[in-house]
Amino acid sequence: MTLLFIILSTLLWSRSSFTESLSLTVSATADASSSHPRINLSWAAVQTFVEVTVAWQQCTYSDQMTCRELGRQKFLDPNSSSLQLTGEVKFDSQFRVEVKGFDACGHITTTESYFTVPRPSKDLNTNHDPLYLVFGPVSATNITVVWQRLSTGHHQSTDGQGHASFKVSWRRVDGAVGHPGHETAALVSSRHLVRGLRPATRYEICVTDQRRTEHSTRCDVVHTLEAAPGPPTPGDSWCRTEAPGTHWRCDVTWAPPEHPNGKVIGYSVTWQDEEGYSLQEQRPAGALCRPWCRHSAVLTFRPHAGCVAAATSSGEGWHACVLVHDAQSRVLAMFERKLLYAAAATLLLYILGPRLLGAALACCIRGLARHVDREKNHLV
């Protein structure tokens, strides 16, 4: 029992140290007379890195998110853990900061944050500092939201016990139609983890200060990361003899996955035998085939199934497999299916045809009879 406890404690510690091996903190100070805020970055690493690279970009949103790199700096000293961004950083613009740590084995640890610094008020009589939001770390399904007071020399508003009361709300804003949102209960802390989001989707996240009556809500838009896509929709797969006994030409068709979880950048096609071993794996060029994709390959062994998987920037998703049959049997099955439909239609006409014809004739006769009776009873 003690050994099991030690093993579980070691696994939990290693997992937490991996997920929190690199953390990023963003703080901002601003002056109403200046056109640029002062952004201070600081990062903390649990493990030792031989190199740290910091890059910052300015992001804009239209149909998709586009980011323009403003600067990049490399730190070879492991003790360097802070940086001040000035110059290109402007008010009311969203910026993305990415910190990458490289260890001695060449492994890369990445963390990133998004933030927008609001323009401070020129009215010195205000009794509060504006809020600004920091999103990070950002993953495919979770976003950590941190809200802070913009340091301008003002005082923050709190309740009678010295604590501010906040509420976090978020909604999906991808496409032209909005979606109903979610919100939390009253929060005293200045951090909240938003869970259960969709990958590669835009969300509007707002923080409301419930102790203030005006300008109490601060909103910003952030884009979740891509995730591995779901399986493609399998279509059909068949093989025909290319060279008798030695080579087969096989085709497989599929539709893009219903849940791409991002932008599909390619597909992987694997031909398998009856035991599930891979006979050949290929990555056909082209990822924008719609509504159906098709790939043809020449194999030295006749495969049992053709499997297709989609890939995004985050990796390859699940495979969708379809059994392979001969082209001759495929054509024969198509003719048999059409023959079956023709036989069923003929049988229905044979059974229901006389009744339908009799009903139509009776309807016509009754209509003519009513017309004749109407002419007889007409007064001259």
All domains of the chain in start order, with CATH? 20-121+128-223 (2.60.40.10), 233-323 (2.60.40.10)
Residue identified by tokens 């406890």 is 5
- pLDDT score for 254: 92
Strand 233-243, strand 325-326: pairing: parallel
Classified as helix, coil or strand, 154 is coil
- pLDDT score for 333: 52
Residue 325: Cβ within 10 Å count: 13
- pLDDT score for 377: 58
- pLDDT score for 175: 62
- pLDDT score for 338: 72
Residue identified by tokens 């009253």 is 186
Query: Which candidate, 21, 7, 242, places its Cα nearest to that of 110?
Result: 21
pLDDT, tens digit only, all 380 positions of the chain: 443 333 333 333 333 333 457 888 888 888 777 778 888 888 888 788 888 999 999 998 877 778 888 888 898 887 778 888 866 788 888 999 999 888 888 888 888 889 988 888 776 555 567 888 999 888 899 999 999 888 775 544 444 444 668 899 999 987 656 677 888 888 888 899 999 999 988 899 999 888 766 557 889 999 898 999 999 999 889 888 877 777 888 999 999 999 999 889 889 999 998 888 888 898 887 666 778 898 998 988 889 999 999 999 888 999 999 998 875 555 555 566 677 777 888 888 778 778 777 887 888 887 777 766 666 555 54
- pLDDT score for 45: 81
Q: Are 46 and 17 in contact (CB under 8 A)?
A: yes
Burial group, residue 38, by CB count within 10 angstroms (0-12, 13-18, 19+): middle
Backbone CA torsion sign across 330, 332, 335, 341: negative
- pLDDT score for 369: 75
- pLDDT score for 156: 46
- pLDDT score for 8: 34
Torsion over CA of 355, 361, 364 and 369, rounded to 10 degrees?
Answer: -110
Please tell me whether the overall predicted TM-score, pTM, comes out greater than 0.75 for this model.
no
- pLDDT score for 158: 44
- pLDDT score for 15: 30
- pLDDT score for 307: 94
Q: Check residue 94 and report its DSSP letter.
A: E
Tell me, what amino acid is at 305?
A: A
Residue identified by tokens 């300015």 is 58
